[in-house]
Amino acid sequence: MEVFTILWREFAFFKKRAFKITSSAVITPLLYLLAFGWGLGADVSIEGYSYLHYIIPGIIAMSTMHTSFNAVAIRISVARLHEKSFEYYLTAPVNMYLLTLGYVIAGALRGFYAGCIILIVSYLFGAYINITFSFLLICFLNSLLFAAFGYFAAMVINTHYDMNRFTSFVITPMTFLCGTFFSLEKMPYIIKRIIEILPLTHAIMGLRNIALKGITNYFSIFILLTYFLILYALGVYASYREI
């Protein structure tokens, strides 16, 4: 019951701010497509594919990461630290597993929505990539795990400034190091192996293999699911610690 209540409330929130949410989700990826897709795409190829087609899966993964993380982290941190309204959940007879799941699914749907918008925009750019059920599954799993991470981050910070640490030391490095805009093949061996552990790397590799080669990497799907379960468990633990 808690899950559907939160999803309905978040849907009402989204419906009132649909234009602002859509525009904020699409503007940064659109700028990347304009700068790198049109600016470089016509003359550059990577691994035998045009640069425009190469970066679209990376931009979709990056967009789902940012949107789902921020959708949950900002909402929870404001409710918990500023409005103090989150305390009502903590003192009420609410199942924290379901409360956490509700917020995570709501954030994941926002991230998945952003990914679909980027996919539509890429089609307007004339970049048609292969879309399968596995492609959509990876998008949603990526959104789920970063929504769970956003929930966990919001539950453990003590001030709004602490959230910048998660963004600066986790989200931003993954944005630029996980192969969003370039191939990892020329990275130093040790750095490459470290990057390959990160969840966004598996999301990008999984999406790129499907989009460009039509190959589904089930190992990447397993890794994303594992990350989600771990981050979800940490979010639940952080919730119970607040009670």
Give pTM, 2 decimals.
Answer: 0.91
pLDDT(91) > 70: no
How many domains is the chain partitioned into structurally? 1
Residue at token pair 């630290």:
81
Q: What is the pLDDT of residues 182-203, one digit of tens each?
A: 888 888 999 999 999 999 999 9
The predicted structure's pLDDT at residue 243: 64
CB-count burial class (<10 Å; 0-12, 13-18, 19+) for 148: buried
The predicted structure's pLDDT at residue 92: 65
- Tell me which residue range forms the domain holding 80: 2-242
Q: Where are the beta strands (DSSP E) in 45-104?
A: 45-46, 49-50
Taking all residues of the chain, what is their mean pLDDT, rounded to a whole number? 87
Interatomic CA distance for residues 224 and 235, integer angstroms: 16
Interatomic CA distance for residues 106 and 133, integer angstroms: 20
